[in-house]
Amino acid sequence: MGGLVQKVKLFGEYIPWFQAMRDKGAITFDELGLPTPKTEAWKYTKLRDLNTDDLVIEPSNFLSEMRVTAEEACGCHHEDGGCGCHHHHGKGCCCGHHHEEGDCHCHEEGHVCECRQKLQVPFDAYVIHFEKGKMIPPFPDFPRGVEVMNLMEAVITEDAKEYLGKVADIKLHPFAALNNAYMEEGIYLCVHKNVKVDKPIVLINHTKSGEENIFFNIRNLIVLEQGAEAEFVEWYNYTGAVKSRYFANLVNEIVLGKNAKLSHYKLQDEAFKANHIALSVVKQKADSNYHNFCLQRGANIGRNEVKVLLNDENASAEVNAAYIMSGWATLDTTTDILHLSPRTYSSQLVKGVVGGEAKGVFQGKIHIAQDAVQTEGKQLHRALLLSDTAEIDVKPELEIFADDVKCSHGAASGELDENQLFYMQSRGIGREEAKQILIDAYLNEALAKVKNPEIRAWLSDYAHAPQE
Amino acid sequence: MNSQKPEIIDESGDKYKYGFVTDIAADSAPKGLNEDIIRFISQKKGEPDWLLEFRLKAYEFWKNMKEPTWAKLNYDKIDYQDLSYYSAPKQKVAPKSLDEVDPELLQTYEKLGIPLKEQEVLAGVVAVDAVFDSVSVATTYRQKLAEQGIIFCSISEAVKEHPDLVKQYLGSVVPYTDNFFACLNSAVFTDGSFVYIPKGVRCPMELSTYFRINAKNTGQFERTLIVADDESYVSYLEGCTAPQRDENQLHAAIVEIVVNKNAEVKYSTVQNWYPGDKDGKGGVYNFVTKRAACRGENSKVSWTQVETGSAVTWKYPSCVLQGDNSSGEFYSVAITNNHQQADTGTKMIHIGKNTTSKIISKGISAGFSNQTYRGLVRVAPKADNARNYSQCDSLLIGSHCGSHTVPYVENRNKTAKLEHEATTSKISDEQLFYCEQRGIGEEEAVSLIVNGFCKEVMQHLPMEFAIEAAKLINISLEGSVG
* Out of A96-110, A132-146, A357-371, B242-256, least confident range: A96-110
The kind and range of the H/E element at A253 are: strand A246-256
DSSP string, A369-391: -TT-TTEEEEEEEEEEE-STT-E
**Dist CA A247 CA A133 (whole Å):** 10
Higher pLDDT, B274 or A296: A296
What integer pLDDT is reported at residue B111 of this predicted model?
58
Name the band, by pLDDT with cuts 50, 70 and 90, for residue B154: confident
Tell me the CA distances in angstroms from A448 to A155, A200, A361, A384, one per residue in order. Answer: 38, 18, 22, 18
Residues of A in contact with B408 (CB under 8 A): 393-395
DSSP secondary structure letter of residue B31? B
DSSP secondary structure letter of residue A143? P
What integer pLDDT is reported at residue B141 of this predicted model?
65
**Dist CA A323 CA A446 (whole Å):** 10
Residues of B in contact with A414 (CB under 8 A): 414, 416-418
Q: Is B356 on the interface with A (CB under 8 A)?
A: no
What integer pLDDT is reported at residue B267 of this predicted model?
93
Min Cα distance A432 → chain B (Å) is 17
Residues of B in contact with A40 (CB under 8 A): 70
What integer pLDDT is reported at residue B459 of this predicted model?
85
What integer pLDDT is reported at residue B28 of this predicted model?
60
Burial pattern B387-419, b for ≥16 Cβ within 10 A else e, equals: bbbbbbbbbbbbebbbbbbbbbbbbbbbbbbbb
Among chain B residues, the shortest Cα distance to A380 is held by: B421
- Percent over 70 (pLDDT), chain B: 76
The sign of the torsion formed by the CA atoms of B209, B211, B214, B218 equals negative
What's the whole-model pTM score? 0.83
Burial label, B294 (beta-carbon count in 10 A; 0-12, 13-18, 19+): buried
CB-based contact B422 A409, cutoff 8 Å? yes
Q: Is B68 on the interface with A (CB under 8 A)?
A: no
CB-based contact A413 B409, cutoff 8 Å? yes
CB-based contact A408 B410, cutoff 8 Å? no
Interface test with A, best of B373, B379, B424 (most A CBs within 10 A): B424
Tell me the CA distances in angstroms from B21 to B12, B17, B90, one per residue in order. Answer: 13, 7, 18
CB-based contact B418 A411, cutoff 8 Å? yes
What integer pLDDT is reported at residue A180 of this predicted model?
95
Among chain A residues, the shortest Cα distance to B425 is held by: A406
Tell me the CA distances in angstroms from A218 to A106, A147, A221, one per residue in order. Answer: 22, 18, 10
Among chain A residues, the shortest Cα distance to B378 is held by: A393
Mean pLDDT of the B47-54 span: 92
Name the band, by pLDDT with cuts 50, 70 and 90, for residue A288: very high
Residue A218 · residue A252 · CB < 8 Å = no
Mean pLDDT of the A263-291 span: 95
β-pairing verdict for B223-228 and B193-197 = parallel
Average pLDDT across chain B, whole number = 79
CB-based contact A40 B70, cutoff 8 Å? yes
DSSP string, B232-275: -EEEEEEE-SS------SEEEEEEEEEE-TT-EEEEEEEE----
What integer pLDDT is reported at residue B78 of this predicted model?
80
* E strands, A274-329, in order: 275-284, 289-296, 301-310, 316-325
Residues of A in contact with B71 (CB under 8 A): none
Min Cα distance A412 → chain B (Å) is 4
CB-based contact B70 A408, cutoff 8 Å? no
- Summarize pLDDT for A408-447 with one digit per residue, the tens: 888 998 899 899 999 999 999 999 999 999 999 999 999 9
Q: Closest CB to A408: pick one of B381, B407, B422.
A: B422
Among chain A residues, the shortest Cα distance to B384 is held by: A388
What integer pLDDT is reported at residue B110 of this predicted model?
60
Among chain A residues, the shortest Cα distance to B410 is held by: A393
* Out of A22-26, B5-9, B75-79, B216-220, least confident range: B5-9
Residue type for position B219: G
Residues of B in contact with A358 (CB under 8 A): none
Min Cα distance B161 → chain A (Å) is 44
DSSP string, B173-231: SS-TTS-HHHHHHHHH--B-EEEEE-TT-B-SS-EE-HHHHHHHT--TTBEEEEEE-TT
Mean pLDDT of the B282-291 span: 87
- Summarize pLDDT for B356-385 with one digit per residue, the tens: 999 999 999 998 999 999 999 999 999 999
**Dist CA B167 CA B171 (whole Å):** 9
Tell me the CA distances in angstroms from B334 to B61, B313, B372, B377, one per residue in order. Answer: 32, 10, 10, 20
What integer pLDDT is reported at residue B99 of this predicted model?
59
Residue A75 · residue A99 · CB < 8 Å = yes
Residues of B in contact with A387 (CB under 8 A): 414
DSSP secondary structure letter of residue B160? H
Burial label, B421 (beta-carbon count in 10 A; 0-12, 13-18, 19+): middle
Check pLDDT > 60 for residue A71.
no
Name the band, by pLDDT with cuts 50, 70 and 90, for residue A241: confident
What integer pLDDT is reported at residue B264 of this predicted model?
95
What integer pLDDT is reported at residue B463 of this predicted model?
74
Q: Closest CB to A397: pick one of B406, B411, B416.
A: B406
Burial pattern B316-333, b for ≥16 Cβ within 10 A else e, equals: bbbbbbbbbbbbbbbbbb
Min Cα distance B57 → chain A (Å) is 26
**Dist CA B422 CA A245 (whole Å):** 40
B residues 216-245 lying closer than 8 A (beta carbon) to A: none
Check pLDDT > 70 for residue A93.
no
Mean pLDDT of the B339-351 span: 94
Q: Is B406 on the interface with A (CB under 8 A)?
A: yes
Check pLDDT > 90 for residue A317.
yes
What integer pLDDT is reported at residue A404 of this predicted model?
87
DSSP secondary structure letter of residue A101? G
Interface test with B, best of A403, A416, A419 (most B CBs within 10 A): A403
Burial label, B106 (beta-carbon count in 10 A; 0-12, 13-18, 19+): middle
Smallest Cα–Cα separation from A278: which of A247, A257, A238, A313? A247
Check pLDDT > 70 for residue A92.
no
| Count, residues in chain B | 482
Q: Is B428 on the interface with A (CB under 8 A)?
A: no
CB-based contact B400 A370, cutoff 8 Å? yes
* Out of A387-401, B136-150, B173-187, B308-322, least confident range: B136-150
What integer pLDDT is reported at residue B277 of this predicted model?
76
Tell me the CA distances in angstroms from B373 to A38, A397, B361, B473, one per residue in order. Answer: 20, 10, 8, 18
Query: What's the alpha-carbon Rg for chain A, to the nearest Å?
Result: 22
* E strands, B107-198, in order: 151-154, 193-197
Among chain B residues, the shortest Cα distance to A384 is held by: B414
Q: Is A311 helix (H, G, I), strand (E, B) or coil?
A: coil
Tell me the CA distances in angstroms from A156 to A26, A221, A247, one per residue in order. Answer: 21, 14, 28
β-pairing verdict for A261-269 and A289-296 = parallel
CB-based contact B413 A388, cutoff 8 Å? yes
Q: Would you tell me how many other CB atoms lie within 10 Å of the CB of residue B189? A: 26
- Summarize pLDDT for B4-48 with one digit per residue, the tens: 333 333 333 333 222 222 233 335 667 778 888 888 888 888 889
Burial pattern A108-135, b for ≥16 Cβ within 10 A else e, equals: eeeeebebeeeeebeeebbbbbbbbbbb
What integer pLDDT is reported at residue B468 of this predicted model?
74
* Out of A242-251, A307-316, B313-322, least confident range: A242-251
CB-based contact A400 B402, cutoff 8 Å? yes
What integer pLDDT is reported at residue B137 of this predicted model?
42
Among chain A residues, the shortest Cα distance to B385 is held by: A414
Smallest Cα–Cα separation from A252: which of A262, A261, A244? A262
Mean pLDDT of the B120-129 span: 39
Min Cα distance A346 → chain B (Å) is 15
Residues of B in contact with A407 (CB under 8 A): 423-425
Smallest Cα–Cα separation from B142: which of B131, B154, B130? B154
CB-based contact A402 B399, cutoff 8 Å? yes
Check pLDDT > 70 for residue A293.
yes
Check pLDDT > 70 for residue A187.
yes
Residues of A in contact with B400 (CB under 8 A): 370
CB-based contact B396 A402, cutoff 8 Å? yes
In this structure, what is the dihedral angle of CA atoms B244, B245, B249, B254, given to the nearest 10 degrees? 0
CB-based contact A399 B402, cutoff 8 Å? yes
**Dist CA A299 CA A269 (whole Å):** 7
Packing angle, helices A418-425 and A431-447, rounded to 10? 120
Tell me the CA distances in angstroms from B294 to A353, B357, B377, one per residue in order. Answer: 32, 12, 15
Name the band, by pLDDT with cuts 50, 70 and 90, for residue B193: confident
Q: Would you tell me how many other CB atoms lie within 10 Å of the CB of residue A444? A: 14
Q: Closest CB to A391: pick one of B394, B412, B415.
A: B412
> Residue B92, by phi and psi: left (phi above 0), alpha (psi -120 to 50) or beta?
beta
Residue A468 · residue A387 · CB < 8 Å = yes
Among chain A residues, the shortest Cα distance to B365 is held by: A403
CB-based contact A400 B403, cutoff 8 Å? yes
CB-based contact A393 B404, cutoff 8 Å? no
Q: Closest CB to A386: pick one of B407, B414, B425.
A: B414
Name the interface residues of A facing B (CB cutoff 8 Å): 40, 44, 370, 373, 383, 385-415
Among chain A residues, the shortest Cα distance to B404 is held by: A399
Query: What are the backbone dihedrals phi and psi of residue A336, each rounded to the nearest 5 degrees, phi first?
Result: -145, 105
- Summarize pLDDT for B163-174 with one digit per residue, the tens: 999 999 999 999
